[in-house]
Structure 1
Amino acid sequence: MKTQSTYKVIGLMSGTSGDGLDIAYCEFEKKDHWTFQIQASETVPFPKKLGKKLKRSHLMNGYRLALLDVEFGNWMGVQVRDFIQKNDIEAEVVSSHGHTVFHQPSKKLSLQIGNGWALHAASGIPVINDFRMLDVQLGGQGAPLVPIGDKLLFSEYDYCINLGGIANISMEAEGKRIAFDICPFNLLLNHFAEVCGKPYDKNGKLARKGKLLKKVLKQLNKLPYYQIEGAKSLGREDLDDYLQILDWSEEHKPENVLHTLVIHYVEQINKILIPRIGEKTRVLVTGGGAFNTFFMEKLAESLESDIEVIQADPLLINFKEALVFAFLGVLKMREENNSLSSVTGSLKDNCGGLVHGL
């Protein structure tokens, strides 16, 4: 593939939260370092039937899952085609994360659906997808992948935290990039908000009303995941450990569970953030959870005074992951590594992704 200095790419992100498809049209330029602009963006909610299928995809048999793979790829392609027409833009490539069904790196498995050929045929432009599987086959976690974007696009921050379905973090340590999933986030918050008849807990209002379940908090903090050191990642299937602790009872009202989860998340994140000596430590927080006012207040209260949480632009909060997946596609086009072994634990840095129609 040819190397050039500027790229116009559409990034697609269908996160584990399962609420919709993030589309970001991004322009990247490489001089002394990488720069970017998000020129157009949109979140398209999933149609009800498709959304239900995606949420239940991990329970489907092989045939139904194969059908959903093609259906979802085609649907994303149609959204991209409409997005291009609406914004009157030209893109070289679509770079798609896909929807994660299974993520079990210990079994060499990470499956994201959203068929690349179906997406290519429906959108009319080349597609790059399946970014995780090469890393998994090289013994890595296949996640998180965003840290290469943090390293090359957001190097002015000491920590980059993304609060999506899962909360993850990336940082420089001893001259190399490290990153890992910290804890669940919106996957569990949304689950208990739905018990209250809400799709999500807007601004953390429900959690703010609740009270702390101290015994539950202790149990959450003792979960085995928090004892693992080094490269580690969480999948939807890991949530059973949490749900067993949070099981419904009279005391475990959803507001109380939401409040307790917020405090649990704050404690887990706070353990990781170490202030730099003699200067402010800058923390960039993005992802849907950055709009959870109650969580952000509790996080700020818990941090030492020389740790500064940067208020990110709402555009970046909403579309950083789509931006970075667009960037992963750029690195794939340049045949440069887009997955770091220091992050995932794989045998070596690698250049993941399958190309359709380029």
Structure 2
Amino acid sequence: MELIRLHHAYGKYLGEEVHAFALKHGIRPDFVASHGHTIFHQPDKHISLQLGHGAYIAAHAKLPVVSDFRTLDIALGGQGAPLVPIGDELLFGEYDYCINLGGIANVSYTQNGRRLAFDICACNMLLNTLANSVGSAYDHNGELARGGLLQPKLLQQLNAPAYFATPAPKSLGKEWVLEHSLAALRASEASVPDKLHTTCHHIAAQLKRALPQLHAGRHRVLLTGGGAFNLFLVQLLQEYLGEQYQVEVPEPEVVSFKEALIFAFLGVLRWRGAHNCLRSVTGASQDNIGGSIYLC
């Protein structure tokens, strides 16, 4: 009961915020595309819930809404994630790899004419939790991590879960991160800077492991998401990947808002009745047109 109430209340809040923004700027959007806030994601159990009911957003924004992008794909046997790759392919196709360093790091790329994508490992879920434990919202520029020392045993534990060797399609949720990565960090007696330093090595190592050689010559790697502001992590990643890869961090607006931009694009595809979710990425039985539409 409380979860349903919150689902509706958060949708109302989002709708009110959109309505206030539109009035302030004198605009009337064609529709709102809302991803919502993921609180459960266990596709193997056919569970994925993004908080913020589309009907309540529509009612209070006074605009049409496209939401609930994942459920159809999961019903078709897919992971319901990641959803961004079709946007990576159509909007950022000049890059060989698109990596998002968000709460969870993920990658997408085209190989043999097929777009592939998957979650790699936890990223800011780990780094921010550690920074929070010493009173910081995040590790600014990765300065705390840079001052730490590598803990080989902890690194081995972070790299140990079978997930990392499992072939795609695959995706991660908060539940997995709590049970594995965060559990290993909490059990360690290392200092917070040492944990941050070691975690950055873990992330860089898993990113390297995830990127196949696609062609001869240098590969362009686009980094976005909050982790792209972590200068120590970006430096480590370039060192792990070597000279065959050119790691590029774009302007801050793209770093911070690329996923929001692509979800708006997914909404456009849904509005047009075009495929916005790829079976090559999620493992579903077919490409599909995900998203519920609420008209107001």
| TM, length-normalised to structure 2 | 0.96
Distance 2:259 2:216 in 1: 31
Equivalent residue, structure 2, for 1:82: 20
Aligned equivalent of 1:196, options 128, 131, 134: 134
How far has the Cα of 1:274 moved from its partner?
3.7
Distance 1:234 1:199 in 2: 23
Equivalent residue, structure 2, for 1:66: 4
Equivalent residue, structure 2, for 1:147: 85
Q: Alpha-carbon deviations, 1:248-305, whole Å to 9, x = none?
A: 45x3222111111100000010122344544321111111111011101111122221
Matches within 5 A, 1:269-348: 269-348=207-286
1:127 has 2:65 as partner? yes
Determine if contact 2:99/2:223 at 8 Å carries over to the other structure. yes
The residue matched to 2:186 in structure 1 has which SS? coil
Equivalent residue, structure 1, for 2:123: 185
Task: Give structure 1 stretches of 5+ with no counterpart.
Answer: 1-62
How far has the Cα of 1:75 moved from its partner?
1.0
Distance 1:340 1:110 in 2: 17
Distance 2:284 2:240 in 1: 34
1:103 has 2:33 as partner? no
The residue matched to 2:150 in structure 1 has which SS? coil
Distance 1:189 1:121 in 2: 37
Structure with greater strand percent: 1
1:268 has 2:217 as partner? no
Structure with greater helix percent: 2
Distance 1:111 1:174 in 2: 33
Compute the RMSD of aligned alpha carbons: 1.3
Aligned length in residues: 295
Give 2:153's aligned amino acid: K
Task: Give structure 2 stretches of 5+ with no counterpart.
Answer: none
Distance 1:139 1:213 in 2: 40
The residue matched to 2:170 in structure 1 has which SS? coil
Distance 1:245 1:260 in 2: 12
Distance 1:299 1:77 in 2: 39
Q: Alpha-carbon deviations, 1:77-133, whole Å to 9, x = none?
A: 111112222333221000000111111111111111101111111111110100000
Determine if contact 1:275/1:306 at 8 Å carries over to the other structure. no
Determine if contact 2:122/2:181 at 8 Å carries over to the other structure. no
1:354 has 2:292 as partner? yes
Distance 2:223 2:33 in 1: 23
How far has the Cα of 1:148 moved from its partner?
0.7
Determine if contact 1:275/1:307 at 8 Å carries over to the other structure. no
Equivalent residue, structure 2, for 1:167: 105
Q: Which region of structure 1 is more displaced relative to structure 2, 218-227 or 91-100?
A: 218-227
Q: Alpha-carbon deviations, 1:145-187, whole Å to 9, x = none?
A: 0001011111111000001110000000111000000000111
